Amino acid sequence: MANSKRPITANDFKKLAVYSDPQFTPDGSGYAFVSTTVTDNNDYASQIFVQELSTNKLKQWTYGDDKNSNPRFSPDGKKVVFQSNRSGVPQLWLLHTDGGEAKQITTFKNGAINPEWSKNGRTIIFTASLDSDDDVKSQKEQSKEERKKEREEKNKQPLIVTSLRYKSDAKGFHDDKKSQIILYDVEGETFTQLTTEDSHHGYQDISPDGTNVLFAGNLNEDAEYELTNDLYTVNVTTKEVTKLTNGNGSYHSASYSPSGDKIAFFGHEQTHAGATLNELYILDVESRERTCLSGEWDFQLGDLMIGDTRLGSSTTGPVWSKNEDKLFFIGTDHGATGLYQVNLQGELKVLYKNDNHVFGFTYDENTESFVIGVSTPTNPCNYYLLDHESNLSRLTNANTKFLEEVELSEPETITYQANDGWDIQGWLLRPYGFEEGKKYPFVLEIHGGPHAMYGQTFFHEMQLLAAKGYVVLYTNPRGSHGYGQEFVDACRADYGGNDYTDLMSAVDYALENYSFIDEDRLGVTGGSYGGFMTNWIVGHTNRFKAAVTQRSISNWLSFYGVSDIGYFFTKWELGHNLLDDTTKLWEFSPLKYAEKVETPLLILHGEQDYRCPIEQGEQLFVALKHLRKEVEFVRFPGASHELSRSGKPEMRIERLNHICRWFEKYL
């Protein structure tokens, strides 16, 4: 029987609207959200929409090819503040909800981001990047020509590096500017800088009485050598800073209770380094006594789902109930994320979990209901109303035209046993136009992290490979989130060990249980840690006929000094850094096994990847080419580690086309 719909293409993600950041109106009558799309000029645009719950009527509030985001309603609902780059860099704009043009309220040289209202609506708190001698009262936005000239002049000067953390994949090379917290008086139209330390300050919340602002950061002199992140308050009047946490962990997502007596937050004390599960804490503001509500749980708090079409951020919790007797948050568990509730005695309740991806939510204290964002493997995103009686009703119909056109493959969940008896979860997609009795080529996908999770969300790359005629298998080997602390910690100091055999067991299971897979046409691909594992696989088995390694690690010896995280990540994940044991790091390095590679390998790497720098791909390519192996190297100009998720759209399409080309050639 012929398919009535067409197969998905590499270009199709350009047709998607991606929703994020739902925010209830103060009276609970509707909510705002952000919709991100791809523009005709090879970039992304984000627009703010509002939907009335009584009529389900959608109203678009912003237009154009700009990035408009972070809408936040004033407590009386009469205004909304948001950030927009329409003037050149992100600035804050104020819009009356009954109509009219938006008014620009900041003209900071380096922009202003992440606005929030005080509880009385008189002030707006935001973050701005400032030099130590900047005056917030005289900030002037540069023109396009001035910014261009400054960049050109900067590019003529050498970069003088004195800090260990001098670069990041997200921002490139750092300068001396630090993110500071600013208070804007709405009526007086004046600015007050609340923080001044030579450190980054991450705004968290403002106390209900407006006297203190809660932020996260590390204000220690040795901050660049530490991996801790504490919570602090700064008094709005005196500017006095008070440290709330103990300096032994990493804490974030903090919010005051409605009375201001307590603070809820996520965090951990790095008992398992970067593989430590988040805990949910309550801090008594007066006594400073801290209580852990999640001590008996064994799953990750927050959203750790991996996808390639999620753009924009959303609230994942913890969020206080109206009576401050409960907290709400998103949790990551067994390939899905859901909305959870906990009371102050630590009693956990699932409010919504339906084997899909809850990517964000907003809570209305008037009706005690939620708007939740949900993605499934065959539907990129929609919003739903979850009322106080747990009734679920759909609010939006995103991407209708796209979904009417294309055939998407529904994944089949599998569970197989690893060599040591551990249960491993995965998903299998059948190819477009599947016919019984035919044999199909196969591709194993391996996620990055490694402490992340594949699961029940929309994944364009998986669907594309299925559309191209491949059986696609993706799994969560040990090291993945979603299966408890022991599981997520189990790959540390064992890269290429049981995590590798978990993946090989997945292939064995698929071949044993699905007769339509052609065992002579197996492919493998993955990015970041998945790229490392692809490199490791081709150096340890010849069962795959083609491999594509993306933004990978090939040599842990050099990774230590070139990655923006190498100096601590190497120790965290392998148990050694370069100065501890070079022999051990070399044994963990796929480059060591280059002579054993017989699988044709395509290496994809971004030129400006500072997480897994391009020299990692270069070393592997040169070694394999020198050995006269079948290898090809594709370098993506201007691309960071995030190429596959938020890179320039045309580069993302090129990447997907190269993957498909390689597998078509060899499978």
Determine whether 313 is an active site residue.
no
| DSSP string covering 591-631 | GGGGGG--S-EEEEEETT-SSS-THHHHHHHHHHHHTT-SE
| pLDDT above 80 (res 3) | no
pLDDT of residue 99: 86
CB neighbour class for 82 (10 Å; exposed up to 12, middle 13-18, buried from 19): buried
CA distance 147 to 141: 9
CA distance 263 to 259: 10
> Radius of gyration (Cα) for the chain, nearest Å?
25
pLDDT of residue 658: 98
CA distance 650 to 386: 38
Cis amide linkage into residue 450, ω under 30° from 0: yes
- What average pLDDT score do residues 15-42 get? 97
CA separation, residue 626 to residues 433, 531, 619, 634 (Å): 41, 21, 11, 17
How far, rounded to the nearest angstrom, does the alpha carbon of residue 319 sit from its chain's CA centroid?
20
Q: What is the pLDDT of residues 647-659, one digit of tens each?
A: 999 999 999 999 9
| pLDDT above 80 (res 272) | yes
DSSP state of 356: S
CA separation, residue 494 to residues 277, 398, 573, 596 (Å): 19, 43, 8, 20
| pLDDT above 80 (res 490) | yes
Catalytic residue among 528, 552, 558, 644: 528
- Parallel, antiparallel, or unpaired: how do β-strands 202-206 and 212-217 relate? antiparallel
Determine whether 658 is an active site residue.
no
- In 3D space, the residue among 290, 299, 596, 659 whose CA is nearest the CA of residue 460 turns out to be 659
Share the mean pLDDT of the chain. Answer: 96
Residue 12, classed as helix, strand or coil, is helix
pLDDT of residue 247: 87
pLDDT band at 200 (very low <50, low <70, confident <90, very high): very high
Strands (E), 492-599: 517-527, 546-550
CA distance 168 to 361: 29
Please give, one letter per residue, the 3-state secondary structure of 56-73: CCEEECCCCCCEEEEEEE
| DSSP string covering 125-160 | EEEEEE-TT--GGG--PPPHHHHHHHHHHHHTSPPP
| pLDDT above 60 (res 531) | yes
CA distance 404 to 179: 45
Backbone angles phi, psi at 344, to 5 degrees: -75, 0
Angle at 376 between CA 371 and CA 382, to 5 degrees: 35
- Contact (CB, 8 A) for 364 and 370: yes
> Of all residues in the chain, what percent carry a pLDDT higher than 90?
96
Q: What is the pLDDT of residues 615-651, one digit of tens each?
A: 999 999 999 999 999 999 999 999 999 999 999 999 9
CA distance 297 to 317: 16
pLDDT of residue 55: 94
- In 3D space, the residue among 43, 75, 13 whose CA is nearest the CA of residue 402 turns out to be 13
CA separation, residue 501 to residues 363, 507, 537 (Å): 43, 10, 10
Catalytic residue among 200, 451, 576, 641: 641
- Contact (CB, 8 A) for 638 and 574: no
pLDDT band at 342 (very low <50, low <70, confident <90, very high): very high
DSSP state of 514: -
Q: How is domain 408-554+589-666 classified at the architecture level of CATH?
A: 3-Layer(aba) Sandwich (3.40)
Alpha carbons within 13 angstroms on the beta-carbon side of residue 324 total 13
Residue found by looking up tokens 């890179």 in the block = 647
In sequence order, the β-bridge partners of residue 269 are none
CA distance 535 to 539: 6
Maximum CA extent, the chain: 76
Full-model pTM: 0.97
DSSP state of 392: E
pLDDT of residue 2: 59
- What average pLDDT score do residues 432-443 get? 97
Angle at 666 between CA 664 and CA 667, to 5 degrees: 65
pLDDT band at 1 (very low <50, low <70, confident <90, very high): very low
Q: Which residues contact 371 (CB under 8 A, 6 or more apart)?
A: 22, 24, 31, 361, 362, 364, 383, 384, 385, 386, 395
CA distance 481 to 488: 5
CA separation, residue 57 to residues 123, 375, 395, 625 (Å): 31, 21, 9, 59
